Amino acid sequence: MCSTAGGHSHAAHGTLTSEEKAAADLRDDLGEVFKLVTKLEHQRAIMSGSEFSSADDITHTLEHIIEDQKGHAAMLIQLINEVDMVQRSKFEGDEGNGNEEHSHGHAHEHEQAHKH
């Protein structure tokens, strides 16, 4: 029988908590938004070099869509930070210097230093 009293998640045993499932779904959504932004940015670049009559209007519209999608990405990141405490700590400046004690109560030795 698994006890999570020490702070360990169920993920270590093959099942995800509701928070872990939510974070995973939100990360999938975020990945899709980033893929769409990349695709739209490529389309905008192609369109900006086009010389047909409505190319400027299309480019302008794509710029608005890209901006909206980047806003959606920011919202998804905020939602992920609400359900994933480790992720949130990374945004709050927890850089991790190699020998940190993690939220589940024991230290991990990192073999390689983080390169920035």
Mean pLDDT rounded to a whole number for the chain: 81
Query: What pTM does this model have?
Result: 0.67
| Residue 69 forms part of a structural domain | yes
What pLDDT digit, counting tens, does each position of 11-42 carry?
Answer: 566 899 999 999 999 999 999 999 999 999 99
The residue range of the domain holding 42 is 17-91
CA pair distance 8, 12, nearest whole angstrom: 8
Mean pLDDT to the nearest integer, 73-89: 95
- Whether residue 104 contacts residue 10, with contact meaning beta carbons closer than 8 Å, is answered with no
| Length, in residues, of the chain | 116
E runs forming strands in 1-116? none
Quote the number of domains for the chain. Answer: 1
| Residue 32 forms part of a structural domain | yes
| Residue 59 forms part of a structural domain | yes
**Does residue 69 surpass a pLDDT of 80?**
yes
| Residue 3 forms part of a structural domain | no
| Residue 76 forms part of a structural domain | yes
| Residue 66 forms part of a structural domain | yes
Query: Quick one: pLDDT at residue 14?
Result: 80
| Residue 41 forms part of a structural domain | yes
